[in-house]
Amino acid sequence: MSSNERRLTAAESKGLRTARELEGHLAWLDTITPAALGVLAVASGIYTYLGVSSLLEDTGAMSFFAAIAYSIAVSVGIFVFWSYILRLLPSMRSTSGFLGLLLSMLVGSVAIIAMSSWLNAAALAGSAAVEQHLANTVQEYQRALEQAHDIALTAQTLGRDVERTRRTFDELSEREAREGGTTGVAGDGAVSRLLAQTADRLRGLEEMIEAQEPRIEEAYAEGNRLLGQMRALTVAAGSVEQRSIAFSEESVRLAGVVVSLNQYSVAPLVARAAADLPASIILPELDGSTASMRSTQSETMVAVVASVGRLSDSLADAANEVLAMEPPQETAYNPISSADAVIRYAGNFVPSWAGAIAIDLLPGVLVFVLAVTQAAIRNGRDGLSIEETLTLADLKAAMSAMRDVEASMGDADSAILQRLRGDQTSSEGKAPDAD
């Protein structure tokens, strides 16, 4: 062994063997990587085509070719992009070059998500996302229906207050007519007529309130029937686009029912009647036989009018409490495309989004695998000269190449000698002629 030669340490030998083994694996993997990348790109293109098709309103030939062109462009772009990254980034040795390509990979990944992944998600979960939108709309309509019904029923409770007060005035009127309960003189006098008049006013208001109750229950039943049909459309079989059309028609009817329930609330009616009640009382003419009796009747009617005023204020306050209740928000069904639905309800379809993104960005994992492998190979070969890294196969190949070179050089030398000899012979043959 010459002085310039040295033995490899155990660590260097192990690193070199590891590097050679990894290179062998990479050589085999390089044979399947382009095909695998092509399959992923084609699969992404197919789902992108389905997503684009769901966005295009026209179903003619132009839309078909437009969707095909876009999906092909996506497939080619994904294949070329990841081919560049797979080849260049793992081989980059400088830190600045590695970080630059890593940044380029991140920007390209965002671009791929923007142009392909969300469309893939629309193809994977578009129908389910639209059905989710329908289900959420049903819940909104149900809340609006329940709220309108609750407000209408709360307003109906005002009828009990009106009924209780009406009975009080009826009893006072009967007692006055029968035994003179307020003036001390029985008979159908001015006070009795005033009390009866007030009771009649309240009875009319009570009847109007009672008349609304069947309408409220009928509207509520109709609303629940429409909600049932809308729920059935949400989970029914068939195209979600066709179901959305029928769903929209039912939603319009249900919106009308909610508006009707709002109109059936008697709170505005009670508030107006309470405000008009004192002014609607017509005081009858005093008919007492004596001045003292007429004075008593006058005082009693003043007290009745004051009582009606207090009743009016009480009913107005109760009606205003009902009117102050928050009305149901106006609900309307807005049709939505499958792509928009997937974005709006992305949180409900995380597995679909994960699959849609993974099919586009899975080569990024291969990039890091290659980068780690190339770093291990370089680490195993660093510090070793070319002579120290040669394998027996490399040496045989080098010796074979040298023999080929030597054979080629020998053939060349022979050809040159033969040519020189030929030239010399021809020159010797011409010399006597010259003499």
Residues 282 and 404 in one domain: no
Residue 38 domain-assigned (yes or no) = yes
Residues 266 and 364 in one domain: no
Average pLDDT of the residues in 146-175 = 79
Average pLDDT of the residues in 419-435 = 58
Q: Which residue has the tokens 């004192």?
A: 278
Return the higher-pLDDT residue of 233 and 435.
233
- What pLDDT does 425 receive? 64
* DSSP one-letter string for 100-138: HHHHHHHHHHHHHIIIIIHHHHHHHHHHHHHHHHHHHHH
Residues 156 and 302 in one domain: yes
Residues 191 and 322 in one domain: yes
Q: Give the structural domain span for 229.
A: 128-337
271 pLDDT above the threshold of 50: yes
Taking the C-alpha atoms of residue 308 and residue 99, their distance in angstroms, rounded to an integer, is 86
Return the higher-pLDDT residue of 31 and 273.
31
Nearest Cα residue to 264 out of 212, 206, 319:
212
Residues 197 and 64 in one domain: no
Residues 188 and 327 in one domain: yes
Return the higher-pLDDT residue of 228 and 208.
228
CATH code of residue 261: 1.20.1260
388 pLDDT above the threshold of 70: no
Nearest Cα residue to 206 out of 264, 250, 164, 143:
164
Residue 428 domain-assigned (yes or no) = no
Nearest Cα residue to 251 out of 131, 345, 338, 335:
335
418 pLDDT above the threshold of 50: yes
Question: Looking at the whole model, is its pTM more than 0.75?
Answer: no
Residues 250 and 304 in one domain: yes
Residue 62 domain-assigned (yes or no) = yes
User: Any residues with CB less than 8 A from the CB of 274 and at least 6 apart, and which?
Assistant: 311, 312, 313, 315, 316, 319
Residues 380 and 252 in one domain: no
Return the top range by mean pLDDT from 58-72, 127-141, 401-415. 127-141
Residues 85 and 177 in one domain: no
If you ran DSSP here, which 8-state letter would residue 237 be given? S
Taking the C-alpha atoms of residue 236 and residue 230, their distance in angstroms, rounded to an integer, is 10
Residues 247 and 144 in one domain: yes
% pLDDT > 90, the chain:
5
Residue 41 domain-assigned (yes or no) = yes
Split at pLDDT 50, 70, 90, the class of 90 is confident
Return the higher-pLDDT residue of 177 and 155.
155
Q: How many separate domains does the chain show?
A: 3
Average pLDDT of the residues in 262-290 = 68
The contacts found for 200-204 with CB under 8 angstroms, 24 or more apart, are 201/277, 201/280, 201/281, 202/162, 202/165, 202/166, 202/169, 203/166
* Beta strands per DSSP E along 168-263: none
User: Any residues with CB less than 8 A from the CB of 172 and at least 6 apart, and which?
Assistant: 181, 182, 195
434 pLDDT above the threshold of 70: no
Residues 213 and 246 in one domain: yes
Residue 429 domain-assigned (yes or no) = no
- What pLDDT does 242 receive? 84
Residue 427 domain-assigned (yes or no) = no
User: What confidence tens digit (pLDDT) does each residue in 293-322 have?
Assistant: 666 666 666 676 676 677 777 777 877 888
To which H or E segment does residue 163 belong? helix 158-179
